[in-house]
């Protein structure tokens, strides 16, 4: 690690520990604070990337963020095991569906150097007449609000999603 990267991680850890971040981290006893904060930042980015790929219907890149044997559970997509099965479920989404998933209150528990778990709130907005995105479209119904529960594994030096479970809380509009 270069001196610059070390300083950047230290600064990031101080910001996170000061409560500026939207995330909270619990660290396993076997990890240094720097390693734990680095894992947190990588996992936060992983969750954001996954949802951006999902919202932009870039399912191939989305699937690369999951472990080969990942488990995926959604009230609209059902339960799926493995990248291929999850990818097949994504193909069932309407081609014109425009979505935005907003994640907040992300809490991460970095268990050790290769395992972590987390939870967050999610607010979902959608329109079935907005993709591909060209201009602003009306939202269909109220937003749906739920909880995400995650498990993460570090595979080949990169954090991946090994489990993602969506639990609805406030129904809003949910279309198949």
Q: What is the pLDDT of residues 29-87, one digit of tens each?
A: 788 888 999 999 999 999 999 999 999 999 999 999 999 999 999 988 899 999 999 99
Contact 15, 21 (CB under 8 A): yes
Distance separating alpha carbons of residues 64 and 25, to the nearest angstrom: 25
Token pair for 110:
């970095």
Distance separating alpha carbons of residues 118 and 50, to the nearest angstrom: 14
In a domain, 94, yes or no: yes
Alpha helices (H) in the chain, listed in sequence order: 3-17, 33-55, 59-63, 83-91
Residues 6+ apart with CB under 8 A from 146: 75, 121, 122, 124, 166, 167, 168, 169, 170
Q: How crowded is the C-beta side of 130, counted as CA atoms within 13 Å? A: 17
In a domain, 33, yes or no: yes
Q: What is the pLDDT of residues 78-123, one digit of tens each?
A: 999 999 999 999 988 888 999 999 999 999 999 999 999 999 999 9
In a domain, 81, yes or no: yes
Q: Which has the closest alpha carbon to 127: 144, 106, 149?
A: 144
In a domain, 9, yes or no: no
In a domain, 34, yes or no: yes
Domain count, the chain: 1
In a domain, 15, yes or no: no
Q: What is the pLDDT of residues 134-171, one digit of tens each?
A: 889 888 877 889 999 999 999 999 999 999 999 999 88
pTM for the structure as a whole: 0.83
Pairing of strands 66-74, 78-81: antiparallel
In a domain, 3, yes or no: no
In the prediction, which pLDDT does 130 show?
84
Average pLDDT (124-133) is 88
- CATH of residue 161: 3.10.450.50
In a domain, 17, yes or no: no
The residue segments making up the domain with residue 58 are 23-170
């Amino acid at each position: 690690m270069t001196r610059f990267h070390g300083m950047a991680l230290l600064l990031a850890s101080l910001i996170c520990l000061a409560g500026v971040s939207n995330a909270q981290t619990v660290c396993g006893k076997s990890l240094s604070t720097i390693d734990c904060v680095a894992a947190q930042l990588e996992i936060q980015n992983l969750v954001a990337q996954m949802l951006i790929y999902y919202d932009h219907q870039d399912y191939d890149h989305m699937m690369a963020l999951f472990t080969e044997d990942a488990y995926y559970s959604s009230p609209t997509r059902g339960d799926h095991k493995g990248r291929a099965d999850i990818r097949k479920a994504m193909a069932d989404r309407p081609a014109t569906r425009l979505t935005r998933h907003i994640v907040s209150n992300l809490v991460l528990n970095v268990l050790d150097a290769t395992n972590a778990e987390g939870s967050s709130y999610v607010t979902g907005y959608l329109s079935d007449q907005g993709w591909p995105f060209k201009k602003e479209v009306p939202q269909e119904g109220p937003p749906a609000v739920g909880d995400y529960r995650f498990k993460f594994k570090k595979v080949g030096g990169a954090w991946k999603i090994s489990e993602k479970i969506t639990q609805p809380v406030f129904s809003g509009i949910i279309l198949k």
